[in-house]
Structures are given as C-alpha cells and as structure tokens.
C-alpha cells in the first residue's frame, strides 16, 4: 500500500481510518507501574510499521524500540485486556476508585507475536480509538495474508530445490516427474508432458533437454493446482459467469453460505482490498485467486473467529469453568528417569495452562526440592520454579493460576516454602482469607492476575497436623518395596506448618469420604483430588451426584500411578460430569493432549472455558438418563477435498498416498461415533471426496469433533497424515478450510481439508 493510502474500492470509513493512521495522532503510551507518555504515533505504510516520535527531539527516531513492525503483531485488543491495563485497574479497585486514569473505551493494545509483549495505548476519544483499531486491524489482516503467501512461496521454493537434483537452477521433465511423486500426485505421463510443455514458454534447453526455470516451474505448479470445488462456488455467485466477483455478490455468498449475516457492502469492499492479489482490486472486484485466498484465511477457518478472543462470561464462580491443568508439570519425559525442569512450567503456562503441580520434598541446606518421589528423576529447587512461574504466569492469560502442592516436606521446610511463596510471588499471591459472608467461589475475573495455593489446611491454627486429604501417592508396585529404580522413601512427619496453611484460601484440599458428606459438611472452598480410576467409577456409577458435587466444589483428576510412561487418560469422560481440573501430562503429545489443547483453544486460549448450562447450577441433569431435548442439534459435515496432504511423517520419499478422512465425535456416550470417507487412490495433492455425514448430537455443548486424515494401506498400518480437533461450539458454519496439524499441534503447511458445515436444531 502506498503512502498516500489511495485505495479505490474500500469503504469511506476505512479510507478515513487509513488516512488518519498516515497522518498520525497523539496517543498515550502506557507502561507497567502506571507510567505513561504522550507521543505522536503514525503508520509508515512503506515499511508497514507503527512508529512514534521520541520525547528528546523533533523528528523520527529509527531505533527499534520506537516502532512496531505490523508483521510481528498477533492481534489488536480493545479495552482493558492486557496485563498492564488490568494491573492498573486492579490497583484502582484496591484504592476504592470506581474509574481508572485510562477509560476502558479509549484503550487499545497491540499484542506482539513471539513474546506476547504488548504496546498499550490510550486515544483521546472513543471515536478516535475505534477509528485506529479499524484501520490497524485491516492492515494486520493484510500482513497476515502476505505472510501466508510468503510461507507458501517458501514451501514452493523448497519443492523446486528438492526436485533440482543436479543443482543447475532448472528442472527437466524427468525431475518434474519425480516432483509429482514427492507431491503425492500420480499422473499419466502424457498429461504431465502436456502441462510441462505448456509451462515451458521460454523453450530453455540444458544438455539438449527442455527445462523449466523457477518462473516456469511456478506456472507448471499452478496448472496442477486447480480447485474445481472453489471455482464452482465462485461461479455460482459471480454475475453473468464473469471472471470477477463484485462486493454485492461477495456479500450474498457470505450471508447465504458462511452465515456471516452482519457483513455489509462496505465490509465486502474492505475484504476485496485485503485478499485480492490482482489489479482488479483497484476496481473493487475479487478474482477466483483472491476468492480462494479469502477462503484459506483465518477469517474463514473452521475455528470461529470469536473464539480467538475471551468472549465468555468470566464473572461466574471458579467451579463453573473447565480449567486447563497439568500433572507432574516439572517432568520433561517419563516418570522414572526423566528430567525435572523449570522449563516444564514455562511451556505449560505459555500454552494457557492455569493449574500446575509441584511435588515438594525436603532438600539439602533447608531448601525444598521438586521432583517425582521414589524415582530417579532429577531434582529442581522449589524457589527456582517459583521464579519461573512468576515470569510466565500471566504471559498469555490474565486469569488465576493454581499451584497444586503435593507436599511431602517437614514442617521446617514447609516454613521455607511459605517464605518463598510470599517473597517471590509477591503481590501475585492471593493471601486474603475467605470472608465469613462468602457463599461461593470467586470468579476468574475477580481473581485476575492472582496465584492460588491448593494444599491441605489446618482447621485450627493451634494444630500442626492437618485434616486428611487425598494424595497422589498411588504408585505402582514396581516402584515400591526396594525396586532398583526407586529411591529410599524420604521421611516426613505428616504435619503442616501454620505459615503454609495460612496461604491456603479458596482451594483447600480435603479427603473425599463420599458425596453425601461433601454435600452436608463441606464448605464451598473445599475440594478433592481423584485418581482417574476412582473418578471413572464415580462418573459411571454416580454420575448425577458427581455432577451436583462439581456444581459447588472443584475436583482435580490425576493419572493413575501405573502410567510411568507419562501417558494420558481420556479427559472427555471427566469433562462430561463437570470436573474442572482434569490434569494431563503436558510433556506427552498423545491424542488425549491433542484433544485437551483443542478444548482450551476456545475462549481466547485463556485456560478457562465456561461449562455448559446443564453442568452449572439451576439445571437438573443426570448423565445416565436420556439427554435433555432442548439441547439436541444435528451436525452435517461434507468433506469436499484436500490440498497438499503429506506422506506419513511429512516425508518426501515413498509411494503416493491413498488418503481418506475419519470424522469422529468425542463427548456424551450417546454421541460418540466415527464416519470415514472412501479413500482416493494415488492422490495426496488434491484429493476429492464429496462425502456427507449427518450426525445427530444429544449434547453438542460437550462434543469435540476430530478430523483425521489417514493413508489406506493394503499391507501395514494405516498411518496418520494429519489431524485436527475442535469443540462443536467453536465450529463456524459454511465452507471452511481445516489447516491440518501434526501430533504436536504444529501446522503442516500448506496441508488443508475443505469442508462444508451445517448446524441445525434436531428434527
């Protein structure tokens, strides 16, 4: 975009916003500790960066600290939605002030990709804030579109490099045939020769053989890349079978197919400007290529746009939320010989985890240690872990973190633990006792940027022996009684230090002696931990009681001790009865962890997801009885096609694959089902299935839909080629692309599935 920001075809409102960004405006730049500076900000369109003047002198400072590259920005947030603004607001509330120095409706923030650091700004008026946010979000979407193109081009260059066996900068026909095999394309040799000849417009010859240079290779590649599914859709909505689509036709498509009914003509003009790569955008029209670019964008992914942000009510009691939780967070590998490391806490918290575990034992020099008891795992200082937690606790989410202490320390070292918790965590540590007038747990919003301690608690401060609570000492026999891998069992006195007890408030660990006792005697802040086997029994045999318990109290589920390989149980069974803290081994990338990360990707990835209505107070729900009629829906999925499906393990060698798609529902027992397409023979490049599955769902609110692409094998195992999982409630309707992931939930660029989604009330 040029500096004069003259962009025919866009809305007048957006044009005004872009001109204002170029002109600049005095904004208040806010830093931690309530420090703020007034600076002249403006957008440098040539370099796509937001810059500001320095205080010391006129003119523009070119130091990196004085500009933000818009290609590095992840999102634009409005209001008090960053650590800096939330801390300032929390401080204001503590002082009894009802209004902040920085009004919510004038604030906005730029979140930086890799670091999650923020640039926090305050506009002079709400109107100016809204204008700048609209313009910046438009530029951000354009940058993301360019990045997606660049990623694709890098991938394309890698294909050329791999195919160029003799490194002469060109591809002969034999090399192109080898490339087709690498790209999972089985093609008649005559047809391949025809496409090769059509692309070879320069008639380059090397060693008396026709050859394609890089530009011709791109033409050859694009001739392979036809998208008849998208082209048919495009032709249905463009006027008079032309090669371009205007704003009115685009609006009809978005309203009718994508269910984006709030989109206006002006919005469509802006979308054309954002996605159209050809000169036709200067006339306000969208080509087929631009249409496909739009469909491949984040705006049209299967994951609904609103779920990229915190949009749920965060003012309900903690027990009304699923909470992303880690088991044995300190481990990086298995539970017998693996390393204990602070890095496990960094990784978990940066993935949005909100409950982490510390297995605490007496250490030398009166310094408590964290490690996996009775095994040969390495050890790490308790205080070092707290240092790491303080740095990363609120890096990606402002909502509370729970430290689940598995406490095996002597009273003396518990006092040291309490000292470190207070001194290191400082103001983050929530130390206020439960107020007598409180009757339910506080909300995530009320506890923003606070750390809670889950541990046993003395019922009387004169005591040193706590009430019983369930512990995780459910070790396999192989790890007990002198097994050569086991350490001698450290000696503890079973007592609890008053200093540590006083830090426990809303997450008091208690021994579970039955649902009836909990209902009659427990306070709302008392909770229990359940080993997976026991929890499974309760969920199956006492489902209604378990649901009712979880409406008032927190429950933590942890893996059975025999999982020495750090494998995970299926978390869905426990979410189904409302269990909140379903703790998994984050260091293990298995299907359970894949589902867990899909679950907590929604609601902005903040680590808290509001439970469905029937798992909260006010609804009589029994998992064993027929589901409630009003919640039933029907999901209709059409699996249309695939693009660039990789070979197993993303390898380039081996046979061309025969891909098929498995659609699986995880959720209520009556909803769990699998559907498979037929396989497409010898085509992973652009396979087409066009198969539709109609799936009735009794409780869609707790359903998770899994898409798995596999290779049909006549002889061995059908290997997984890519997968994706998404909560039903986060699925967008219409024509959507699914960007496939590997087992580590990393994107397999540029592999996608193209699907059509319909949600409707059950008939």
Catalytic annotation, residues: 327, 372
CA diameter of the chain: 95
DSSP-based three-state secondary structure for 456: coil
| C-alpha pair distances (Å), 448 with each of 315, 332, 402, 556 | 11, 28, 12, 21
Secondary structure of 121-137 in HEC code, one letter for each residue: EECCCHHHHHHHHHHHH
- Residue 20's Cα: distance from chain center in Å? 34
CA dihedral over 458, 459, 461, 464, signed as positive or negative: negative
Helix, strand and coil content of the chain, in percent to the nearest 5, comes to 35, 25, 40
Q: d(Cα 643, Cα 721) in Å, to the nearest integer?
A: 12
DSSP state of 340: B
Tokens found for residue 337? 């010989």
DSSP-based three-state secondary structure for 716: coil
- Residue 90's Cα: distance from chain center in Å? 27
Q: d(Cα 739, Cα 746) in Å, to the nearest integer?
A: 10
Q: Are the CB atoms for 531 and 514 separated by under 8 Å?
A: no
613 phi and psi, to 5 degrees? Answer: -55, -40
- Please identify which residue in the block is written with the tokens 């192109």: 176
Q: d(Cα 671, Cα 677) in Å, to the nearest integer?
A: 19
Q: Are the CB atoms for 239 and 249 separated by under 8 Å?
A: yes
- Ramachandran assignment for 560, one of left (phi > 0), alpha (psi -120 to 50 degrees), beta (any other): beta
Q: d(Cα 121, Cα 26) in Å, to the nearest integer?
A: 10
Nearest to 354 by CA among 362, 367, 345: 345
Q: Are the CB atoms for 370 and 344 separated by under 8 Å?
A: no
DSSP-based three-state secondary structure for 723: strand
CA dihedral over 8, 13, 14, 18, signed as positive or negative: positive
């Amino acid at each position: 975009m040029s500096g004069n920001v003259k962009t025919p075809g866009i809305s007048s409102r957006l044009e005004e916003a872009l001109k204002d960004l170029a002109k600049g405006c005095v904004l208040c730049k806010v830093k931690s500790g309530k420090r703020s500076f007034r600076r002249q900000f403006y957008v440098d369109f040539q370099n796509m960066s937001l810059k500001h003047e320095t205080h010391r002198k006129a003119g523009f400072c070119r130091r990196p600290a004085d500009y933000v590259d818009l290609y590095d920005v992840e999102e634009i947030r409005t209001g008090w939605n960053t650590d800096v603004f939330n801390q300032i607001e929390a401080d204001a509330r503590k002082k009894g002030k009802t209004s902040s120095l920085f009004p919510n409706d004038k604030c906005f923030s730029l979140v930086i990709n890799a670091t999650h650091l923020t640039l926090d700004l305050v506009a002079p008026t709400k109107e100016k804030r809204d204008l700048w946010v609209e313009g910046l979000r438009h530029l951000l979407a354009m940058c993301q579109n360019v990045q997606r193109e660049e990623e694709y081009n890098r991938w394309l260059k890698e294909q050329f490099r791999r195919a160029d066996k003799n490194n002469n900068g060109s591809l002969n026909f034999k090399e192109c045939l080898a490339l087709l095999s690498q790209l999972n394309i089985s093609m008649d040799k005559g047809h391949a020769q025809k496409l090769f000849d059509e692309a070879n417009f320069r008639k380059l010859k090397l060693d008396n053989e026709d050859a394609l240079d890089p530009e011709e290779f791109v033409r050859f590649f694009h001739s392979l890349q036809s998208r008849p599914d998208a082209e048919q859709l495009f032709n249905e909505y463009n006027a008079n079978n032309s090669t371009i689509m205007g704003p009115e036709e685009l609006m009809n498509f978005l309203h009718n197919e994508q269910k984006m009914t709030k989109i206006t003509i002006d919005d469509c003009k802006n979308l054309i400007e954002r996605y159209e790569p050809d000169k036709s955008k200067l006339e306000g029209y969208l080509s087929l290529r631009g249409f496909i670019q739009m469909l491949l964008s984040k705006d049209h992914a299967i994951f609904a746009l609103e779920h990229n942000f915190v949009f749920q009510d965060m003012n309900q009691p903690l027990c009304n939320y699923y909470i992303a939780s880690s088991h044995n967070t300190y481990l990086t590998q298995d539970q017998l010989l693996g390393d204990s490391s602070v890095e496990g806490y960094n990784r978990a918290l940066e993935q949005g985890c909100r409950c982490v575990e510390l297995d605490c034992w007496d250490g030398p020099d009166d310094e408590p240690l964290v490690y996996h008891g009775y095994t040969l795992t390495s050890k790490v200082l308790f205080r070092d872990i707290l240092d790491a937690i303080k740095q990363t606790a609120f890096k990606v989410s402002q909502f509370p973190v729970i430290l689940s202490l598995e406490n095996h320390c002597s009273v003396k070292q518990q006092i040291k633990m309490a000292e470190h918790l207070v001194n290191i965590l400082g103001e983050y540590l929530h130390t206020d006792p439960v107020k007598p007038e409180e009757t339910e747990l506080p909300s995530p919003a009320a506890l923003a940027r606070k750390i809670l301690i889950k541990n046993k608690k003395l019922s009387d401060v004169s005591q040193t022996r706590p009430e019983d609570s369930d512990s995780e000492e459910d070790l396999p026999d192989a790890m007990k009684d002198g097994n050569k891998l086991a350490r001698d069992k450290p000696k503890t006195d079973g007592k609890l230090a008053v200093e540590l007890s006083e830090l426990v408030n809303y997450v008091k660990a208690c021994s579970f002696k039955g649902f009836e006792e909990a209902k009659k005697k427990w306070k709302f802040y008392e909770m229990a931990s359940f080993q997976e086997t026991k929890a499974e029994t309760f969920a199956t045999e006492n489902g209604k009681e378990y649901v009712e318990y979880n409406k008032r109290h927190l429950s933590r589920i942890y893996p059975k001790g025999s999982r020495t390989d750090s494998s995970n149980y299926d978390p869905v069974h426990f979410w189904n009865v409302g269990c909140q803290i379903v703790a998994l081994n984050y260091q293990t990338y298995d299907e359970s962890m894949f589902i867990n990360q899909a679950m907590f990707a929604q609601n902005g990835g903040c680590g808290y997801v509001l439970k469905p209505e029937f798992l909260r107070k006010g609804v009589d729900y029994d998992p064993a009885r027929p589901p409630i009629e009003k919640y039933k829906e029907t999901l209709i999925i059409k699996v249309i096609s695939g693009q660039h499906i990789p070979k197993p393990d993303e390898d380039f060698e081996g046979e061309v694959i025969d891909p098929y798609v498995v659609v699986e529902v995880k959720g209520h027992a009556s909803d769990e089902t699998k559907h498979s397409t037929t396989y497409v023979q010898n085509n992973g490049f652009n396979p087409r299935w066009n198969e539709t599955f109609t799936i009735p769902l009794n409780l869609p609110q707790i359903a998770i839909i899994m898409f798995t692409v596999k290779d049909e094998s006549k002889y061995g195992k059908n290997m997984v080629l890519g997968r994706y999982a998404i909560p039903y409630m986060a699925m967008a309707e219409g024509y959507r692309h699914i960007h496939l992931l590997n087992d580590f939930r990393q994107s397999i660029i540029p592999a996608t599935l193209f699907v059509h989604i319909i949600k409707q009330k059950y008939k």
